[in-house]
Amino acid sequence: MTDEELLATRFEADRGHLRAVAYRVLGSMSEAEDAVQEAWLRLQRADTRDVGNLTGWLTTVVGRVCLDMLRSRASRREDPLDVRVPDPVLAPDDGGNPEHEAVLADSVGLALLVVLEALTPAERLAFVLHDLFALPFDDIAPIVGRTPAAARQLASRARRRVRDGTPVPDALPRQREVVDAFTAAARDGDFEGLLAVLDPDVVLRVDFGALNPDLTTTVRGAEEVARRALMFRRPEAVSRRVLVNGGTGILTAPGGVPASVMGFTVSGGRIVAIDVLADPERLARLDLSGLDLPGRG
């Protein structure tokens, strides 16, 4: 086996880890794949003979790439308050399947990713690398261009916002009950039924993407969200319950083509947040393998 083949084998062993880091930093699967590919290109050009911990080295490289991508993304936005629902990770929700129940504990929830979207690039990177992947601040500091103490402060600020903005989700069986009640009330036009399962301060975020910016919006409050929910009525044949980042969600896919993904955050027996991705370009890139959608070849 040549040196290049050995390097490729070693990189492939870390690909899953690097993709996980990049997805949590970027909230986008396609961008995460781009970041991992860029790390491979940089690895090919680098002299790593004296690198004792290649996984750590690759993690810092991916971190630098992701930070550049976050800053580039921020600079392109005309409105810094633009709604951006992160790319969801979908899985079948068979209800009661122990393997799927375990996904909730292992997944990074959509609610957390939404909070991370509101952080500065440096805060987001410091929090993800330290709190989610245990990278030391001494290693994070040069990536963000700060001292280790300053990097620690970045992560600390991010941690407070994550703690304040990420509710603890109910167990999956309870989530299913609440979301099923929501969809039944929306289907039946039951306004009071919707209010019964919505938290008074519920937040609805809808992301239609760059092609339909006028439709992208944030709605707050149970009554306004309930009114919007009455427009979500879909034939049961084209909508199904799925796991969205380990939590309960709904995929609408007429003819097997995804039209929207709704991720629900259920806490204390009520829906506290609904995040809807309806961007056709990003929906087309979702991994729907294993969902067995009718009409999908």
Find the mean pLDDT for residues 199-213: 91
| CB-count exposure of residue 137 (10 Å: 0-12, 13-18, 19+) | buried
Query: pLDDT for 70-91, tens place per residue?
Result: 999 877 654 444 678 999 989 8
pLDDT at 82: 62
* Sequence letter at residue 76: R
pLDDT at 200: 98
pLDDT at 211: 78
Shared domain check, 191 and 81: no
- 219 vs 31: CA distance, rounded Å: 27
Shared domain check, 219 and 124: no
Q: What is the pTM of this model?
A: 0.86
Shared domain check, 79 and 146: yes
Tokens describing residue 62 = 């991916």
- Residue 16's domain spans which residues? 3-88+111-165
Shared domain check, 222 and 115: no
Closest to 24 (Cα-Cα) out of 63, 78, 81, 60? 63
Residue 66 in domain = yes
Return the CATH number at 18.
1.20.140.160
Query: pLDDT for 159-183, tens place per residue?
Result: 999 999 889 999 999 999 999 999 9
Residue 221 in domain = yes
- Confidence band of 37 (pLDDT split at 50, 70, 90): very high
pLDDT at 103: 42
Residue 134 in domain = yes
Tokens describing residue 103 = 């996904």
pLDDT at 104: 45
DSSP H stretches of helix in the chain:
3-26, 29-45, 54-76, 98-106, 110-117, 121-127, 137-144, 148-165, 172-188, 191-197, 222-229, 280-284
- Confidence band of 97 (pLDDT split at 50, 70, 90): low
Shared domain check, 126 and 213: no
Shared domain check, 143 and 11: yes
Shared domain check, 224 and 83: no
Shared domain check, 220 and 83: no
Q: Report how many domains make up the chain.
A: 2
- Confidence band of 269 (pLDDT split at 50, 70, 90): very high
- In this structure, what DSSP letter does residue 2 have? -
